[in-house]
Chain A
Amino acid sequence: IRAAILIQKWYRFTMARLEMRRRYSLSIFQSIEYADEQDQLQVCNLPFFLYKHLCYPQDFSQIFTSPSAPQVVDEDLCLKEFEKKIDVPDSYYGPRLSFPLTVEDANALLHAFRNEQLLHARYVLQLLSETRRVLKEMPNITHLSTSYSKEITVCAASLNAPFFFFLQNGLPSEQNRYVFNGDFVDRGKNSMEILIILFAFLLIYPNDLHLNRGNHEDYIMNLRYGFTKEVSKKYKDHWKQILCLLRDVFSWLPLATIIDSKVLILHGGISDTTDLDFLNALERNKVRDHIHVRIILFSFKNFAILDILWSDPRSQNGCTPNKCRGGGCYFGPDVTAKLFERYNLKMLIRSHEFKPEGYEISHDGKVITIFSASNYYEEGSNRGAYIKLNPELIPRFVQYQVSKFTRRQNLRERVGTIESSALKSLREKIYAHKSELTSAFAQYDVNGTGRISVNDWAAAMESVLQLDLPWRMLRSQLAQMNPDGEVDFMSCFYDLKMGQPIKEAQPALAETLCRYRKDLEIIFNIIDKDHSGLISLEEFSQTWRLFTSHLGIDVQDDSIDKLVLSIDYNKDGHIDFNEFLEAFHVVHRLEKKTT
């Protein structure tokens, strides 16, 4: 028996180590994601006029090329106009939709997407226009009752494979209703197809499929998180019209759903000022995106919508601003209890937060978080889940994990994969903050030896990166230590370099470009009105200057000019900013080739 205990000890030890590695890897992913969300506030702080100029240059009249075209409000007219103006060639073998949509259209779409076909732009535009028409009729808060349904399925919509999901769980019907709780896009490469399916089903089964708006149904979020790029790549000629119309559609998405007056379903959370009657009455479509609310609308009543879309539950009582996200708040069990008492509610179902098991129950069983995208950060990182609510309003959780590889890898391999992916992201962040880190280290290194204690190293890392990570645990993966127990702090930066060495770039400038690559990408994309990928040198310099002055970065004026000139390869006064930004992508020198 002693032998058995020894083995058990050792086994538990190994499992504990694996679990620790898994947890901190997920912690790294999450911290970086939230930090990125917060960085977005930089765009928010741009001067008002620049923001307005950048973000709202177009209006609907640009959908039709003739300058005298009226602002199109009538959706029936819209359908016909799209048919007239956009030609679908005979060579197109994808689904050809006819309105009103039927189940055949839905099946055609599912079939097409499974075969990785694209829906033609004309049908996309028609679909969006019809969706807008239908959504406009809906109230801000939808009320459902379970009287006819066997079960109502609630998901967080960011499904890996909605096509299989509907096959497995059944098409929407009176007995099998669905509520999709926001964040339909910005997750993976098929956001467009997911939207198309959801909207098509919404049109075919308007009483049996319901959508709630999420914080990613937001133009600015889409620019940052990849959806805009996805659309512009898939629909080279019509992406702008599609995004324009989509922006409107998003603003018409309902805010919440209530089942049997007892279960409240919304994307983010609540605050201590949440008033359901007020929410039901306001003009939801005025809230275009979260920055618009903060800068332009700037009225407290519209912050109510931000609370719904961005808040997170916490176990401490009270309601505090959500520092992590930069929007919404943290709400405690007391806030939930008060809201429940006021409106006689029994349960709150929300999404918005990553959960390794796909779901989590908090606030004493009152709040359920549901996260439906498995393998969100990396292959094998987490499971997804959805809820099935029966007429007694008791939830049943269905967990799953979609994967080609997960079965072939054992637990240790899976954790290894997640860990190396997380560390890679972290190293990129470290590289992007090289100067700041170097000077922080130098402050501890009084004698200039190049080495500091582990404690000091950890303190420096946290003060610069502010990711709240277990630095001591991660140290062995990030920096080298000498036999005396001191950290050779510059070793963090070995093996990391930029994609293309740019001779004219000073290190500090290069690093800044690296760090703000994503933000710059957003801004350049906005400036580049005709989506040619080119902007003029003047536009580039001007934007860059405004951007850095707002961030308070000290960059010498002439250095950026030199850099820009060196990028203008054919000397025609324009630069291909995608190529330019691509150069500031961090590369890992010892990266193994992906098989």
Chain B
Amino acid sequence: LVAEIEKKITEAFEVFDRESNKTVDVREIGCIVRSLGCFPNEAEVQELLAQIEVEEQEGFIHLKNFLPVMTKVLLDKRFRPIPEDVILHAFEALDENKCGYITKEDLVKHLTEK
């Protein structure tokens, strides 16, 4: 099972590996983690990165550092997806005027408050 998970992770990683040298830009890690089916929020992505990032390769993450961390994430089933009704509630909570949508500005405002 572990081998299969590792292969899956490697595949996803390689799609973002522009030069086929087993490294990706650190900004793509969030994308990769999510395309493997996980639902982390931004803070959680940063935490994950803290566990991985190596000093010398500024701005790049090597597969060999990413693989063990990500494998554990998948084995532990962390960052599970949110059920639909919870998301719906979240939308309703922010949709003060009950118009059925929220604007980008509203969302930004809520995210940057406090």
Contacts and interface: CB of A to CB of B under 8 A. Distances in A.
Interface of A: 1-10, 12-13, 15-17, 19-20, 23-24, 27, 314-316, 454-455, 458, 468, 470-473
Contacts of B75: none
B54 interface: no
Contact of B94 (A3, A10, A19): A3
A6 B90 contact: yes
B14 interface: yes
A19 B87 contact: no
Interface of B: 3-4, 7-8, 11-12, 14-16, 19, 21, 30-35, 39-42, 81-82, 86-87, 89-91, 93-94, 102, 107, 110-111, 113-114
Contact of A23 (B7, B16, B40): B16
Which 3 residue pairs spanning A and B have beta carbons closest together? Answer: A16-B34, A4-B110, A3-B90
29 contacts: A3-B91, A4-B90, A4-B94, A6-B82, A6-B87, A7-B107, A9-B39, A10-B87, A12-B42, A13-B39, A15-B31, A16-B34, A17-B35, A19-B31, A20-B15, A20-B35, A314-B21, A315-B19, A316-B19, A316-B21, A454-B4, A470-B11, A470-B12, A470-B14, A471-B11, A472-B7, A472-B11, A473-B15, A473-B35
B30 A12 contact: yes
A10 B82 contact: yes
Contacts of A9: 39-41, 82
B107 to A, nearest CB: 6
B4 to A, nearest CB: 6
B86 A6 contact: yes
Contacts of B8: 472
A7 B91 contact: yes
A16 B42 CA distance: 13
Nearest to B110: A4
A475 B93 CA distance: 38
A3 B109 CA distance: 12
Contacts of A458: 7
Given A7-B90, A13-B34, A1 B111 contact: yes
A12 B11 CA distance: 20
Nearest to A6: B90
B12 A473 contact: yes
Nearest to B34: A16
Given A16-B30, A16-B31, A472-B7, A5 B41 contact: yes
A358 to B, nearest CB: 15
A455 B2 CA distance: 12
Q: Which of A7, A17, A24 has the most chain B CB atoms closer than 10 A to its own CB?
A: A7
Given A1-B110, A7-B90, A458-B7, A12 B34 contact: yes
Nearest to B81: A13
A373 B82 CA distance: 41
Contact of A5 (B12, B15, B91, B111): B111
A454 B11 CA distance: 13
Contacts of B93: 3
Contacts of B90: 2-4, 6-7
Contacts of B110: 1, 3-4
A476 to B, nearest CB: 12
A455 B4 contact: yes
A314 B94 contact: no
Contacts of A19: 31, 35
Nearest to B93: A3
A23 B82 contact: no
Contacts of A472: 7-8, 11
Contacts of B14: 468, 470
Given A1-B113, A4-B107, A17-B34, A27 B82 contact: no
Contacts of B11: 470-473
Nearest to A22: B15
Contacts of A471: 11
A316 B18 CA distance: 12
B19 A314 contact: yes
A3 B39 contact: no
